A and B are shown apart, each in its own frame.
Chain A
Amino acid sequence: MWISLNIISKMVSLDGISPEDIAQRLTMSSAEIECLEYANRHFTTIITAKILDVKPHPNADKLTLVDLSTGSENHRVVCGAPNHKKGDIVPLAMPGTEFSKDFIIKKSKIRGEESSGMLCSEKELGLSDDHSGILIFPEGTPAGKSLAEIFPDSVDVRLEIDNKSITHRPDLWSHMGFAREIAALYGRPFTDVIDRSLESGFKNAESLKVEIMNPEAAPRYSGLVVKNIKIGDSPDWLKAAVTSIGMRPINNIVDITNYVMAEVGEPMHAFDRKKLTGDRIIVRLARQGEPIMTLDGQTFTLTSEDIVIADNDKPIALAGVMGGGNSEIDDSTTEIVLEAATFNPVNIRKTAQRFNQRTEAAMRFEKSLSPELTAAALIRCYDLIKKCIPGAVAVSKILDAYPVKQKTVKIKTDTEFIKKRIGQKISDERITGILKALDFRIEIKGTDLELEVPHYRATKDISIPEDIVEEVGRIYGFDNIAESAPMVPCTPPRRNEFRLFERKVKGILSMHFNMIETSGYSFVGEDFLNRLGINEDRELRLANPLSMEQDRLRRSLVPNAVKSIMVNMRNSDYFKTYEMGRIYIKDDRKSKELTGENTRVCGLVYSRQPDAPLFYEAKEIVCGLIEMISMDDIVMVPESKELPPYAHPGRSMLIKTGGKDAGIISEFHPKTLKSFDIQGRSAFFDIDLNMLFDAEKTDKKFCELQKYPDVPFELSILADRYVHTADIISHVIKTSPEYIKSAEVISIYEGAQIPEGKKSVSIKTVYRASDRTLSPEEIAGLQKKLIESMNRKGFTLR
């Protein structure tokens, strides 16, 4: 919203205050000023000058040399316009005049002739579209005046208000509201522009009545009938004012109603009296399905929540949003009904949203306007109509339906409370002084205050003592409040163990395994799921997605892992990334109303040309992680069937805890890589972090350091190619668990001398006893036992 300081200055004197200071003070105490704009600041250096002589340019046919006098100085300019002659008074833009950043008037030579300034057309001055010649002032216009003096209304400073910062302040949707704020901030008097004495001149010669059918939808409806209207252009001051606040001048009546809305804050409308049927204006809820055509030509089908203004047989306006096309004023209008009303903000908000018509009026009504404004706005409108159309006459009293009077809001509080909440000693006089300046009526009893809230802030904005704290604080200046540390007991906070666990896992992955943490969107789309082969339509969908690619919530972090590969393989041949984040499972509701959320961690290793299967690298990370978080109840089992479609069936292991799947380590299926055009290979792990957190952890315990010597023993066996070495090792250990310190695979060999379909596995077993050195006989016995056991299992020795 734009605020014009010209309009403000009619209500509060701005003498001696810079616009920058006003913007700063308002930002700090009232509303955020987004920008400050000078309108026609350059008019101060455009001066009226009398043409002394016009001579042809020696080097150009279409140019002339013009000598001018501003009364005190003479100037010569080169001019290309055809219409000026000796004796004319014309606007001379002096050197230094800044039309825009890129257009500044300078002394220069034009085709060899000095020119010190520029003569301006109306278009160049922004006064009209006329560019046929330079502006020639009426005879008798004095020379030496600046355009700022000639067109005082065109020179203005405007402030743009951040609308979000006045959501709660219906009064600030007007110049009057800002004028009051400035008056309070600078301690200056506020002048009301409403001339209430005009009301006594309103005739009672009109049979029109107004009626509210649904008081809950419209607390007040006021009207005024004015005759002898002549629709025409607005006077210059009004055009300038309307332009300054960001609207387009239309005609005198529309401009006046717009101006009053911006000035007083009450949206206004004018109906053509002669287009109304009958003598009644009715405010009612629309009938379901009732159509209306608004004055912009659109037709809407209404619901029973929309409010309409109707005459005897038809809706004539969509209340609070826009007037109707059937009752609109036009060039032949001579008699109007001015409307000022208050509507239920929720109805207006819904209507405006439903029809996507957030008009200036609707934006104000939905903020809960004070019903006390309507009569004042009508009087102000009439005042301005009289100024533009002196013959106009009010032929009705103010027609007023006001079934539910606005309640006076009174607040009891005390200065101690205010000081305590602000946390600073402010004198009682200062507090009451601020509140008085803000138009509160105050009764003071000691430190107790009984306040009556001004009507324009009593609709919703101010109702409780805390609101008074804000009023005092903001005028006092929150910036003037000193900081102080709260004095509270130093009890340590409870630990959020899960968060700490998340952090620990991230620390292990990033700091120990040198992985890079990424973060991706919580959304996923159908195409991605299809390419991963997991589109089962089980995701929680968004009711209002931004795009097809982000129309549902992820059930898995794997799509983001794939994205990470696609992004990074362009710049890197090898990387390890992971994401920890929530997934959303709509069919696993932890409470009735909430979708289940689980935290998972999904990591990947990518290499354009891996030397060895990347699976082992991913597995090493997971094993390291499990070891470092001291998980006890965990097993990893090879799996080739029960796998997600993007997992490689020959290179996958499931991670289980408590007998349940907690995750997977795998390589991406080659067909998945292909469907995403990924060159190279990638292994990943995808683990349920909540399950890891819940799983039992081993308490760390000291083990006596080994005192007696190791006895290594190596043997090679033949096994089927597809036998997992982990199974062989577990058989080895099972033979003498109490004496086997470790058993590990040293090498695997397939090829020459090994039968087809078999492999040779060399295993190193280390025996030891914790309480003695093993005797040669014992060792021989243990080895024999191992060999026999291997033979029984069908692993032949080599």
Chain B
Amino acid sequence: MENKLEEIKKQTVDAVRSAKTADELEDLRVRVLGRKGSLTIILRSLGDLPPETRGTIGKKSNEIKKIIEETLESRLNELNETSLDGLVTSEWIDVTLSSPGATGTAKTGRLHPISQIQYEIEDIFTSMGFEILDGPEAETEYYNFEALNIPKHHPARDMQDTFWTEDGNLLRTHTSPIQVRGMEKMKPPLRIVGPGRVFRYESTDASHENTFYQVEGMMIDRDISVSHLIYVMKELLRRIFKRDVKIRLRPGYFPFVEPGFELDMNCLICGGTGCSVCKQSGWVEVLPCGLVHPAVLRYGNIDPSQWSGFAFGLGLNRLIMMKYGINDIRHFLSGDERFLVQF
């Protein structure tokens, strides 16, 4: 029995030392130490031996087992470290593949592009000390029009075709009602922004939507001026577009501001030379703004002889379209994953 053990040991050790691949080693291991391996069988049959030899044979078997295991391991290490047939081949995988079988889970999640830009803008304004406010989407006529200095039958109502609801209210046509609610709730000085969904009674096409997003903003303090407004707007655009943007301010009529402006931004798609997005003008209207009309301040219980302010309404869809060169506003509410995963 002892001889048999010695023979297993010698043969195996020699074979291990001359083995060339990890697979060869694995074969050897199975032949000797596997479930039906030659040494395993001996170890299992120890119980059949007479008690007096059982001890020595058992001890010897275990010693040999240990030696073989060590030899196997050291040879495997040698092979791995030195030979071209090492890990490069033994554990090669195709790293250009993706996780096999992982179909759905491979997709990464996304925020809607509107959410992304909205949060970015919220953060910019929060960093400048603006508080974020909310307001109802189904609004009253008072907050959407009257308190913004747009009485009934005012021609300016034409500028905002309105969805009316069965209870005599309306779907807000702009985020400006948030201004009024903000002024009612807070005391000046105040700095607020109100992002949200707005609605226009309008048939949809590539550049018109009945539902879109705005961010309303308002700052009221002592002696707020047009110059301050320009600063905040430029700062906002610089941060959104991550570069200095050229803007121009021209008169624009909105009953809730006086003076009122249209703020145009140099078209980023053509760089100002004229293209279809900017209708060949080199400029894109991005936001109406102005100094808050004293009547609106009064509606908000703020004394216009003591306080002045600016207000603006930024259209988010247009801004994103500009930023990424999107040509159809209807993509935003399409729910189409192929659009949404691009941002």
Contact = CB atoms under 8 A, between A and B. Distances in A.
A519 B227 contact: no
A730 to B, nearest CB: 31
Interface string B109-126: 111101100010010001
B332 A519 contact: yes
Interface in A392-433: 420-424
A575 B337 contact: yes
A594 interface: yes
Contacts of B137: 522, 582, 584, 597
Given A346-B153, A349-B153, A483-B234, A542 B163 contact: yes
Contacts of A473: 226, 259
Interface string A472-505: 0110001101111110101111101011000100
Contact of A481 (B130, B153, B249): B249
B261 interface: yes
Interface in A531-577: 540-546, 550, 553, 560, 563-564, 567-568, 571-577
A522 B137 CA distance: 10
Interface stretch (A133-141, A212-220, A461-469, A770-778): A461-469
A115 to B, nearest CB: 35
Q: Which applies to chain B's interface (DSSP): helix, strand, loop or mixed? A: mixed
B305 to A, nearest CB: 10
A167 interface: yes
A551 B109 CA distance: 32
A366 interface: yes
B110 A488 contact: no
Given A28-B250, A517-B111, A546-B203, A571 B337 contact: yes
A485 B169 contact: no
Interface stretch (B32-40, B75-83, B216-224): B216-224
Contacts of A494: 131
A564 B105 contact: no
Interface residues of A, number: 95
Interface in B146-193: 153, 155-156, 158-159, 163-167, 169, 171, 189, 191
A421 B225 contact: yes
Interface stretch (A41-49, A52-60, A507-515): A507-515
A491 to B, nearest CB: 7
A593 interface: yes
Interface in A176-225: none
Contact of A542 (B166, B191, B221, B249): B166
A464 B258 CA distance: 10
B337 A572 contact: yes
A563 B258 contact: no
B230 interface: yes
Contacts of A424: 225-227
Contacts of B219: 486
Contacts of A169: 253
A595 interface: yes
A470 B108 contact: no
A4 B7 CA distance: 115
B35 to A, nearest CB: 26
Contacts of B337: 516, 518, 567-568, 571-572, 575, 577
A479 B248 contact: yes
Nearest to A486: B228
B140 A483 contact: no
A499 B134 CA distance: 8
A516 B341 contact: yes
A597 B262 CA distance: 32
A367 B155 contact: yes
A86 interface: no
Contacts of B189: 488
A499 B122 contact: yes
Contacts of B230: 481-484
Contacts of B201: 544, 546
A509 B109 contact: yes
Contacts of A478: 226, 249-251, 259, 261
Given A30-B251, A490-B129, A573-B103, A485 B138 contact: no
B205 interface: no
A350 to B, nearest CB: 6
Contacts of A506: 111, 115
Interface in B243-264: 248-253, 255, 258-262
A574 B102 CA distance: 11
5 contacts: A464-B294, A486-B228, A488-B129, A490-B129, A560-B335
Given A493-B130, A520-B335, 13 more contacts: A424-B226, A466-B259, A467-B258, A478-B249, A481-B249, A488-B189, A493-B129, A516-B107, A544-B201, A553-B138, A564-B335, A571-B338, A581-B197
Q: Closest 10 interchain pairs by CB?
A: A423-B227, A423-B225, A470-B259, A574-B104, A510-B109, A514-B109, A483-B231, A543-B164, A493-B131, A478-B249
